[in-house]
Amino acid sequence: MTTSDDLALNRALWTSVNEQFTDEEAVSAWRSEEITWGLFRVPEAELGVLGDVDGLDVVELGCGTAYFSAWLARRGAQVVAVDLTPAQLETARRCQERFGVSFRLVEADASAVPLESTGFDLAVSEYGASVWCDPVGWLAEAARLLRPGGRLVFLTNSVLATLTVPADGGFAQDRLLRAQRGTHRVRWPGGGIEYHPSHGDWIRLLRASGFRVEALHELYAPPGADTPAYYEIATADWARSWPAEDLWVAVREDAPGGAP
């Protein structure tokens, strides 16, 4: 489970990131009419992982400035957006007022969400809980929040990107720079605590939490994509050759471990 010290460290990090980048970037993200995924903005229209969200009850776990929730709300979803960092939620509130899009914002750790069980049809996380919370905790919480048959869609760094980013930070390289063992919990210099299970571990953790894996999409940079201006994870050139991100789709079963 994510410790209180880890939560405090990540909250402090994202308070700083919001001041430096995400507060200003939020306006552009909220203004976008298209749903996209990840650093290189892969269009949802090409992936089709969300389906028709009109009328669905949706929870976003680790929403940041809640632009993804805004995209879903505009398409008719009933959204609740959850995040640990007050500064980011304040940015989200300001964007709600500016763009006239209203939905509930909840300050909470994604591993302990103060919402009723089986209240949602869809749970999403784009670089939110999927990176910054221990999956043992937040996957179990996502399963609790979802109705049987509800879907979980989340995006995180690819396993390959995690293994090829230098230990002191920077962009992914063209060689392995760290052992795969030990990446479940990673502390970056000057950064926060991230969680990067292997593909096998993700499958095991998802099943233990009551999910059936439907798909894993490995995302590359589309033609013409630019290297992100703020986040040093992978360049566009690198991500045209290797997947920079993993996009998972899972369905909540009636009982943990996939039992009927």
What contacts 70, CB < 8 A, 6 or more positions away? Answer: 30, 95, 96, 99, 101, 103
Judge residue 93's burial from the number of C-beta atoms within 10 Å of its C-beta, 0-12 exposed, 13-18 middle, 19 or more buried: middle
Q: Count CB atoms within 10 A of the CB of residue 118.
A: 12
Backbone angles phi, psi at 56, to 5 degrees: -80, 150
Q: CA 214, CA 253: separation in Å to the nearest integer?
A: 12
**pLDDT (0 to 100) of residue 232:** 86
> Which residue ranges of the chain lie beneath pLDDT 50?
256-260
**pLDDT (0 to 100) of residue 259:** 41
**pLDDT (0 to 100) of residue 1:** 60
Predicted model pTM? 0.94
**pLDDT (0 to 100) of residue 255:** 55
Half-sphere exposure of 1 (CA within 13 A, CB side): 9
- Residue count of the chain, please give it: 260
